[in-house]
Amino acid sequence: MMRSPSQALRGARRFAASVVLAAAVAAGCASTPDPATTPPADPSASAPGQPADPPSTSPSVGDRAQSAVEGMLMGAIIGAQAGPIGAAVGSVTLLVYSAITGEVPFQGPTGGAGGGVPRSEAEREAELERQIETEIARQDSLEDEIEQELARQEKLLQQIERDDALREASESEQEPSEAEILADTDPRAAPRAPKDRDLPPSIFDEEHRTIPSGKWANEEDIQVLSRTLDADRDGSPEEIRYHDPSTGVLLRKENDEDYDGSLDVWSRYDGGILAEIVRDNNGDGQPDEWQSYGADGRMESREVDRNYDGTRDALYLYEAGSLVEERHDGDSSGSMDRIVHYEDRRIVRTEEDTSGNGQIDTWTHFEMVGGKEIIQRVEKDTNGDGSPDTFDRYEQLAGRATLKQRDEDRNGDGQIDVKSIYENGKLKQREISDPALLPL
């Protein structure tokens, strides 16, 4: 079983103590003479006035012990590069070497470098302390680099999680049925409310915010929990969701659908259900389309500023999932000059202002013939009093609406004065009931 670094170091220290003791004993035996076997000194060996032999410079027992301790620490520092086992092996190896030789590798002999000048205990401790501090500083630098790399890896993992979540949400969207596709492709069917992608909260950045009164047409300040998604981390969010902080219900959503860095779609929710969408279709920062939705998820109205002049010039109204009315301002005058009425998604009547005076003067009625909307009659107000005075009836000839009869109130008394009969689109007969109108 592998031992921990602390266990290895403690074992090394115990082994060091035994080696130091053995080395001390051996050194003592080698350096201490035996009086029984050592001959007495010869007084004549050194004549008076002659210099005595220099004292021995071999390490003492204390020097060997000190060197062994320092060698053990140096070996532990060097061996730590290879992990806990390396530290233990290095400390034991240099301990034995230093105990026997009395020198510490990379430090010079115990007596000191440069001619064997003895170093003080304080100098040896200071040198060892500097080496330890250098190693600690190196380890700290290495730890900083590791922390930076871990932070970078964490950001990369977060980005991968965001991308995976977006892809999974896109793939999990249920495909519509054939009937739904046919219904949605009918231009007179009320469009369905777009579905929100089911994205996990973990990919959003959350923040509690206060929405000041008036910003969302709110009468007072609103506390919200905003969730921001910036998938490409360019500083411009692709989506922001606002929730009630206590219930989590979605209140509002803002999107950058063309990814140009500017929000261009604003959605409002009532009780978590989509109620309104406002769009900026031309990217000028101003809304030019307004959509409202009912509780059934179908569109109820749609207004459009088609020429981007700041005036809404088209309106579409829906009921029970079907288009019931269109209003158009074709000349951008600010008033609707054409209105189209529908029943069962079929045109039944149109109203037009053909004179441009802001007043409807033409009414066209349709009927279904062979599954097609065919003009049945057209009523016109020719004198501008707001009431029709000319009535044209049509028939279908060769697939075209052809004038069949025209009735006119020429004198404005509410009675038909002139009746004209047509055949194949050409006048065949005319009847005049008011002689005062003669000649026509």
Q: Is residue 213 part of a domain?
A: yes
* DSSP for residue 295: T
Identify whether the C-beta of residue 74 lies closer than 8 Å to the C-beta of residue 94: yes
**pLDDT, average across residues 240-254:** 96
Q: What is the pLDDT at residue 182?
A: 56
Task: Clarify whether residues 396 and 302 are in a common domain.
Answer: no
For residue 51, the one-letter residue type is P
Q: Is residue 139 part of a domain?
A: no
Task: Clarify whether residues 349 and 360 are in a common domain.
Answer: yes
Q: What is the pLDDT at residue 153?
A: 79
How many Å apart are CA 404 and CA 428, to the nearest integer? 10
State the total domains in the chain.
3
| pLDDT value at 380 more than 70 | yes
| pLDDT value at 27 more than 90 | no
| 72-76, 311-315, 330-334, 392-396, range with the lowest pLDDT | 72-76
| pLDDT value at 80 more than 60 | yes
Task: Clarify whether residues 378 and 248 are in a common domain.
Answer: no
**pLDDT, average across residues 183-210:** 90
Q: What is the pLDDT at residue 64?
A: 72
Q: What is the pLDDT at residue 334?
A: 87
- Tell me the CATH number at 320: 3.90.930
Q: What is the pLDDT at residue 113?
A: 41
More confident residue, 7 or 167: 167
Q: Is residue 157 part of a domain?
A: no
Task: Clarify whether residues 211 and 102 are in a common domain.
Answer: no
68, 186, 349 from 346: Cα distances, Å: 104, 11, 9
**pLDDT, average across residues 152-179:** 67
The structure tokens listed for 367 are: 């009927």
Q: How confident is the model at residue 266 (pLDDT cuts 50, 70, 90)?
A: very high
Task: Clarify whether residues 248 and 341 are in a common domain.
Answer: no
Task: Clarify whether residues 312 and 414 are in a common domain.
Answer: no
Q: By 3-state DSSP, what share of the chain in percent is helix, strand and coil, each rounded to 5?
A: 30, 30, 40
How many Å apart are CA 163 and CA 157, to the nearest integer? 10
Q: Is residue 152 part of a domain?
A: no
Q: Is residue 49 part of a domain?
A: no
Q: Which of 328, 356, 377 is the last residue in one of the domains?
A: 328
Q: Is 145 left (phi over 0), alpha (psi -120 to 50) or beta?
A: alpha
| pLDDT value at 38 more than 50 | no
More confident residue, 273 or 176: 273
Q: What is the pLDDT at residue 140?
A: 79
Q: Which of 269, 297, 328 is the last residue in one of the domains?
A: 328
Q: What is the pLDDT at residue 86?
A: 67
**pLDDT, average across residues 241-263:** 95
How many Å apart are CA 308 and CA 288, to the nearest integer? 6
| Residue-number span of the structural domain to which 414 is assigned | 330-440
Task: Clarify whether residues 225 and 242 are in a common domain.
Answer: yes
Q: What is the pLDDT at residue 32?
A: 45
Share of the chain above pLDDT 90, in %: 48
Residue 92 burial (10 A CB sphere; 0-12, 13-18, 19+): buried
Q: What is the pLDDT at residue 112?
A: 44
Q: Is residue 343 part of a domain?
A: yes
By three-state DSSP, how is residue 14 classified? helix
Q: Is 184 left (phi over 0), alpha (psi -120 to 50) or beta?
A: alpha
In sequence order, the 6+-apart residues with CB closer than 8 A to the CB of 228 are 204, 205, 206, 207, 237, 239, 240
Q: What is the pLDDT at residue 130?
A: 84
Q: What is the pLDDT at residue 1?
A: 46
Identify whether the C-beta of residue 110 lies closer than 8 Å to the C-beta of residue 127: no
| Adjacent-strand bridge partners of 393 | 377, 405
Closest CA to 92 of 19, 25, 22: 19
Q: Which of 328, 345, 364 is the last residue in one of the domains?
A: 328
Q: What is the pLDDT at residue 184?
A: 65
Q: What is the pLDDT at residue 366?
A: 96
The pLDDT tens digits for 100-128 are: 776 766 665 444 444 444 567 788 788 88
Q: Which of 68-77, 170-179, 387-396 has the highest mean pLDDT?
A: 387-396
Counting Cα atoms < 13 Å in the Cβ hemisphere of 243 gives: 16
By three-state DSSP, how is residue 124 classified? helix
Task: Clarify whether residues 276 and 375 are in a common domain.
Answer: no
The structure tokens listed for 317 are: 């109204």
**pLDDT, average across residues 183-196:** 87
Q: How confident is the model at residue 132 (pLDDT cuts 50, 70, 90)?
A: confident
The structure tokens listed for 70 are: 């320092």
Task: Clarify whether residues 293 and 412 are in a common domain.
Answer: no
Identify whether the C-beta of residue 332 lies closer than 8 Å to the C-beta of residue 309: yes
For residue 339, the one-letter residue type is I
Closest CA to 226 of 205, 257, 247: 205
**pLDDT, average across residues 177-195:** 79
Task: Clarify whether residues 261 and 357 are in a common domain.
Answer: no
**pLDDT, average across residues 142-166:** 76
| pLDDT value at 83 more than 80 | no
Task: Clarify whether residues 341 and 317 are in a common domain.
Answer: no
How many Å apart are CA 185 and CA 190, to the nearest integer? 10
The structure tokens listed for 137 are: 């500083």
Q: Is residue 48 part of a domain?
A: no
Q: What is the pLDDT at residue 29?
A: 46
How many Å apart are CA 42 and CA 34, to the nearest integer? 17
Task: Clarify whether residues 352 and 405 are in a common domain.
Answer: yes
Identify the H or E element spanning 373: strand 372-380
Q: Is residue 164 part of a domain?
A: no
What pTM was computed for the model?
Answer: 0.59
